[in-house]
Amino acid sequence: MRVVNINQAIIEKLQKSGISNLMKSLESCEWLVIEEKDGKIIGAAGIGGFFRFSSIQIIKEFQGKGIGKKIQKELIGESKSKKYSFIMVLFNPDNLSSVNLHTSLGYKKIFRLKYSEKHINDVCGISFNKSGELFFQLLKIFNTKIGTIFLGCILKIFKPFFRQLLGYNEKNLPEPNISWMLKNFEKI
């Protein structure tokens, strides 16, 4: 296991192992923790974007063997040593392995983002200091109906900047629909 900064060689290695086809956002990270076997990347976790969102992906045949937990722990430790105030993650609440992995390591739920029927994510984070804690308290406004309207407007305005802000680069993401978001609001 090692920590690497993203560069063209690492992106090519991620693509060669097939891992970034499964989790495109890994290519938008600033740095990664990678686990390799026979020169091939079999697991990677990284942080990217202004809001320090983390992504993690383990190649299917190596899942459930403790690799995810090991590299996620390293990612948290490295984030602390880089003096970050917080890190965040987005995961689908139905993705039990991801929910269990992140909550067992201290990620706390902040709000549920129902962007569209296909894109439902819990926004979670770990704060490392008072500024991080304060930021998460502010984000909790999005855990209310009024906050959801505000969030919908922000998402509409900032959609072209998701890659820079969130390290999120899924193609063909629909326009956020504020009335749908409001109708389907779920407090967590």
Ligand X SMILES: CC(C)(COP(=O)(O)OP(=O)(O)OC[C@H]1O[C@@H](n2cnc3c(N)ncnc32)[C@H](O)[C@@H]1OP(=O)(O)O)[C@@H](O)C(=O)NCCC(=O)NCCS
Positions that interact with ligand X (CB under 6 A): 55-58, 63-69, 89, 91, 95-98, 100-101, 104
Could you tell me the end-to-end alpha-carbon distance of the chain, in angstroms, rounded to an integer?
A: 35
With respect to ligand X, which residue has the nearer C-beta, 48 or 68? 68
With respect to ligand X, which residue has the nearer C-beta, 25 or 143? 25
Residue with tokens 């193609």: 171
Residue nearest to ligand X (CB): 68
Q: How far is the CB of 146 from ligand X (least distance, A)?
A: 28
List of residues 6+ apart from 42 with CB closer than 8 A: 17, 19, 35, 36, 58, 59, 62, 67
What is the residue type of 150? F
Q: How far is the CB of 17 from ligand X (least distance, A)?
A: 13
Q: How far is the CB of 149 from ligand X (least distance, A)?
A: 27
- Taking alpha carbons only, the member of 34, 53, 37 closest to residue 45 is 34
With respect to ligand X, which residue has the nearer C-beta, 98 or 143? 98
Q: How far is the CB of 130 from ligand X (least distance, A)?
A: 26
- Taking alpha carbons only, the member of 30, 49, 82, 42 closest to residue 163 is 49
With respect to ligand X, which residue has the nearer C-beta, 50 or 150? 50
